Amino acid sequence: AQKITQTQPGMFVQEKEAVTLDCTYDTSDPSYGLFWYKQPSSGEMIFLIYQGSYDQQNATEGRYSLNFQKARKSANLVISASQLGDSAMYFCAIRNYGGSQGNLIFGKGTKLSVKP
């Protein structure tokens, strides 16, 4: 069975500083994808970044980067130069390519608060 663990229920960061949100995962499937989503208080889920298990390089999307350490089964999200609009819930998720189609397993999330 797949599992995502996000150990930080809440995080604070000063505006313009970088922050790392932790995510560890467990899966028996050698082929999988890791995703990060942002959920503001308004409720919509916004896709941020994706990392495939066979990707050689860490994924980057603008201010977002994924620190993928396969041996440690971790996929931490790094947000550089935090902005007030980054305040939101952040969910890490995994999907096994060999398993049930479409079954995206989410972690419990980390609430990030950016201080001015």
Least Å distance, CB 86 to another protein, is: 18
Beta-carbon count within 10 A of 40 CB = 13
Q: Could you identify the residue written with the tokens 């409720």?
A: 43
Q: Could you identify the residue written with the tokens 């999907």?
A: 95
Least Å distance, CB 42 to another protein, is: 7
Least Å distance, CB 116 to another protein, is: 25
Beta-carbon count within 10 A of 53 CB = 18
Q: Classify residue 33 as exposed, middle or buried by CB count within 10 Å of its CB (0-12, 13-18, 19+).
A: middle
Least Å distance, CB 12 to another protein, is: 18
Binding mask 22-41 for another protein (x = CB under 8 A): -----------x-x-x----
Cβ atoms 103, 94 nearer than 8 A: no
Check binding of 90 to another protein (CB under 8 A): no
Nearer to another protein, 82 or 107 (CB): 107
Check binding of 97 to another protein (CB under 8 A): yes
Alpha carbon distance 12, 59 (integer Å): 24
Interface ranges with another protein (CB under 8 A): 33, 35, 37, 42-47, 50, 91, 95, 97, 100-104, 106-109
